[in-house]
Amino acid sequence: MALAPTELLPVKKSNRPLLYRCDHCGAKFEKVGSAHRPINSHLFRCPTCGKTTFLASGLTQKKDPVKLTLYCLPAFYKHWLESRVQDYLTKNPWVEINLVCTEEEFELLPQDLSLGVRYGLGDWPEVQLEKLFPHQTQTLGLYLVCRPDQKNHPELLTLWDFLIQQAAVSSY
């Protein structure tokens, strides 16, 4: 199944059912029928507006919710990133991640707290970057990128460090 240009991940709430909120129309669902959910996927098609872009909230009372946008290639998400993002969200339930899977070059917008994974030579002077798999010796690689003014945001830095640690102990 091909991924839609924008797709968001669910987050499990403590002691509550999974809650999905459509990022387009705002409709909320605790259960979504199998007609709207691909098998073995965290992606859903909204029964209200029909778009495939959902966000699930897993918020605690202790912290204010933080919204991050994460850009990546669809294949990279499916083969490496999906389980790691789920693990991160389980450990950080106050974070909401808007996952944008696209094969197009993306722009990190100043109004969004955002992190991306780009494939290339790493020659993007407008972003802060770090090679995700530094043990790979080829010139082309996957890079974590963010706006320089956002690099020290606590939640973005936490996700950045988490992904770098995961990449150090695994391969793609």
The domain spans of the chain are 20-168
At 107 the pLDDT is 87
Q: Is the pTM of the predicted complex or chain greater than 0.75?
A: no
At 149 the pLDDT is 92
The mean per-residue pLDDT over the stretch 70-74 comes to 95
Residue matched to tokens 């499916």: 78
Confidence at 15, pLDDT banded by 50, 70, 90: very low
**Domain 20-168 CATH superfamily:** Periplasmic binding protein-like II (3.40.190.10)
Q: Which amino acid is at 144?
A: L
Contact 63, 69 (CB under 8 A): no
Convert the pLDDT of each residue in 24-69 to its tens digit.
666 776 665 655 555 555 566 777 777 664 444 433 335 678 899 9
42-51 CB contacts, 8 Å cutoff, 24+ apart: 42/9, 42/10, 42/82, 42/86, 43/3, 43/4, 43/7, 43/8, 44/10, 44/20, 46/22, 48/22, 49/22, 49/24, 49/25, 51/4, 51/22, 51/24, 51/25
